[in-house]
Amino acid sequence: MVKFVEIEAKSMLTKHRFRDNWFWNRYSINPYRGCQFACNYCDAITERYLVHEDYRDFSRVIYVKKDAPGVLERELKKAIPDVVAMSGVTDPYQPAEKRYEVTRGVLEILARHRFPVHIITKSDLVLRDIDLLGEIAKQAWCTVSMTIVTFSRRLLSLLEPFAPSPEKRLDAVRILNEEGIQAGVDFTPIVPYLLDSEENMEEVIKRASECARYVLIGGAMTLRSNQRLRFMELLERNLPGLVEKYEKLYGKQESPSQDYVVKVNKKAFQFCRGYGIENYIPPPSFERALSQKTLTPKEGFDKENFEVASHLLLMAFFKEFKSGDPYSAWAYHRASQSIENLNESIKEIYKRGELRKIPGVGESISREIEEFLAKGRSERLEKEMSTW
């Protein structure tokens, strides 16, 4: 029996220090805390995110932020338009949304303020709000990433016991794209020894390629605190033969070995190339005007600066993806952030030969920027995107 607890939200809009180069968001919003889908690989039950006293209540007690739209309305009056991800530690379209419609209320506010949006969900309920998503897509930018990790009924009953079927999710992806709303498949996390077989990976990627704009891959399952406790208990009850393998693969670390991650990512990359679908979300494009807000130029956006910054983040994505190390491209993140924060056009800095004066821009990144500004493209990035 699920218990719903209505709470007052102190705030709704979380601003991140760095833009995410996988989902492209600067902000995130969680209309609920807790999630009824009860996915056994989810890391939202770790102490870092958990608001419940007992992690086992995460799927049994759902906190509903009924006043979320009003709180968000006040916050957006002081915020600069940028990509908002829904959600980080809950599913915005879990069954509670049918009853409370908090997510829809939030989307109405975001649409009114012309904020671009990225929805991450496992539910075809997202189709209910296709009118709002279409409006956001036309006036700013909108994408929907539908999580699909397998079509195996046996594995789904173990990993995602209460989520809608992957067939329904895939059909939602098709409908969204037909309606002009960019939609793809989020094939994460990859659960070792259960979802990493060539048969499973190829099936998900092949079926996604028939209707999705992209398949986002590269998130090996973490094992953190409560998440580790729950998942290892799951294995002991249902698949005891895997316990020793997991202990060897993870040791005391939160992530599997780097060699394992690279092996899985390479396999996924090759399947994506074979089926002609991208393994990344194209950078967003939206109006970055200062709007009606009173802000200094440095707080606003310059189109060319943002394009260069996004280019560097895409380079970072592929470096991280191919190395299996999420920290391997820190220099690109730092340079990208500095360029987004410039209070003048990067082209003017380039003309003066002063690119290396930008914090985080060394010789290699400087050459990358110069080529992008001169040609509007990067041979290095194109090679990274097409070959392993």
Read off the CATH number of the domain in which 365 is found: 1.10.150.110
Residue 49 pLDDT greater than 50, yes or no: yes
Q: Which residues pair with 3 in a beta bridge?
A: 61
Residue 75 pLDDT greater than 80, yes or no: yes
Helix segments in the chain, DSSP class H: 68-76, 96-100, 102-112, 130-139, 153-159, 166-178, 198-209, 225-238, 243-250, 258-274, 303-323, 330-340, 346-351, 363-375, 379-386
141 CB-near residues (< 8 Å, 6+ apart): 83, 116, 117, 284, 285, 286
CATH number of the CATH domain containing 60? 3.80.30.30
Q: Are strands 61-65 and 32-33 parallel, antiparallel or unpaired?
A: antiparallel
Same domain, 73 and 212: yes
pLDDT > 70: percent of the chain: 96
> Which of 285 and 336 is assigned the larger pLDDT?
336
Asked, as a colleague might, if the bond just before 326 is cis with ω within 30 of 0, I would say: no
Same domain, 321 and 260: no
Alpha-carbon distance 350 to 207, whole Å? Answer: 44
pLDDT of residue 290: 45
Alpha-carbon distance 130 to 179, whole Å? Answer: 8
pLDDT of residue 35: 95
pLDDT of residue 301: 57
pLDDT > 90: percent of the chain: 89
pLDDT of residue 53: 81
Residue 115 pLDDT greater than 80, yes or no: yes
Q: What is the mean pLDDT of the chain?
A: 94
Same domain, 377 and 244: no
The total number of structural domains that make up the chain: 2
Same domain, 165 and 81: yes
Same domain, 195 and 93: yes
pLDDT band at 291 (very low <50, low <70, confident <90, very high): very low
Q: Is the residue at 287 inside a domain? A: no
Q: Describe the crossing of helices 198-209 and 166-178 by its angle, rounded to 10 degrees.
A: 30
Q: Is the residue at 103 inside a domain? A: yes
Residue 297 pLDDT greater than 70, yes or no: no
pLDDT of residue 288: 64
pLDDT of residue 289: 53
Residues 347 and 376: beta-carbon distance below 8 Å: no
pLDDT of residue 277: 98
Residue 299 pLDDT greater than 90, yes or no: no
Same domain, 356 and 305: yes
Encode pLDDT of 316-356 as tens digits: 999 999 999 989 999 999 999 999 999 999 999 999 999 99
Q: Is the residue at 374 inside a domain? A: yes
Same domain, 259 and 328: no
- DSSP for residue 324: T
Q: Is the residue at 283 inside a domain? A: no
For residue 374, how many other CB atoms are within 10 A of its CB?
9
pLDDT of residue 186: 98
pLDDT band at 370 (very low <50, low <70, confident <90, very high): very high
Same domain, 20 and 138: yes
Same domain, 225 and 78: yes
Quick one: which of 117, 85, 20 has its CA closest to 314? 20
Q: Is the residue at 249 inside a domain? A: yes
Residue 292 pLDDT greater than 70, yes or no: no
pLDDT of residue 51: 81
Segment 121-137 shows an average pLDDT of 98
Same domain, 246 and 154: yes
For residue 138, how many other CB atoms are within 10 A of its CB?
12
pLDDT band at 167 (very low <50, low <70, confident <90, very high): very high
Encode pLDDT of 171-189 as tens digits: 999 999 999 999 999 999 9
387 burial type by CB count under 10 A (0-12 exposed, 13-18 middle, 19+ buried): exposed
pLDDT band at 293 (very low <50, low <70, confident <90, very high): very low
Residues 265 and 218: beta-carbon distance below 8 Å: yes
Residue 304 structural domain: 297-386
Residue 295 pLDDT greater than 50, yes or no: no
pLDDT band at 50 (very low <50, low <70, confident <90, very high): confident
pLDDT of residue 47: 66
pLDDT of residue 302: 80
If you search the block for the tokens 């060897």, which residue do you land on? 248
Q: Is the residue at 236 inside a domain? A: yes
Same domain, 234 and 311: no
Q: Is the residue at 282 inside a domain? A: no
Same domain, 52 and 124: yes
Q: Is the residue at 279 inside a domain? A: no
pLDDT of residue 212: 98
Is the entire prediction scored with pTM above 0.85?
yes
pLDDT band at 287 (very low <50, low <70, confident <90, very high): confident
What's the Cα-to-Cα distance from 16 to each of 25, 104, 141, 163, rounded to whole Å?
A: 8, 23, 19, 28
